[in-house]
Structure 1
């Protein structure tokens, strides 16, 4: 696993070939943020901002996970989406 593999996985998600559910998007987003920025470092958004709060919660679940582990999981999730023809 390398930075190049991670970047290739990121690029493949920019142009999805099929539908990707909101849950899958949140999951992939959470591992991307953990891999690139580490633990969630922003305050929780207000409950009225449903989208921002969902993204914050998804990212915050990975608190304490190493950036390398997050990269590995991100790559495997993208590969899983590719198998399902979403990417």
Structure 2
């Protein structure tokens, strides 16, 4: 069970992931972060002319329904995995 402090610590660590981190991976983290801090999606899907915002919205929508705790735990796990993977390269 993750604490808010641990989650905030890993949110800071996520900012230092290597530049080679894939955009798709960053979007997963974004979705989990938003689900952890805001809850389910609260806005309409951005239009086709806003591809970046649309991708972020889709990532958040993909984790809709997870509890705050589930999203925090998954977020921390992902950051740990990607930090370990970066150390191996």
Q: State the match for 2:45 in structure 1.
A: 44
Q: Which residue of 2 aligns with 1:76?
A: 77
Structure 2: any 5+ residue segments left out of the alignment? none
Contact 2:36 2:68 in 1 (8 A): yes
Deviation at 1:18, TM superposition (A): 4.4
The farther-off stretch of 31-40 and 13-22 is 13-22
State the TM-score, normalizing by the size of structure 2.
0.90
TM-score (norm 1): 0.92
Indicate if the aligned counterparts of 2:45 and 2:57 stay in contact, CA closer than 8 A: yes
Runs of 4+ in 1 over 6 A off after TM superposition: none
Q: How far apart are the structure 1 equivalents of 2:56 and 2:35?
A: 12
Segments of structure 1 that go 5 or more residues without pairing to the other structure are none
Contact 2:17–2:82 (CA under 8 A) maintained in structure 1: no
Aligned length: 86
RMSD: 1.3
- Alpha carbons of 1:18 and 1:51: their partners in 2 closer, same or farther (altered >3 Å)? closer
Structural mapping, 1:1-87, within 5 Å? 1-85=2-86
3-state SS in 2 of match to 1:84: helix
Structure 1 residue 15 displacement after superposition: 2.2
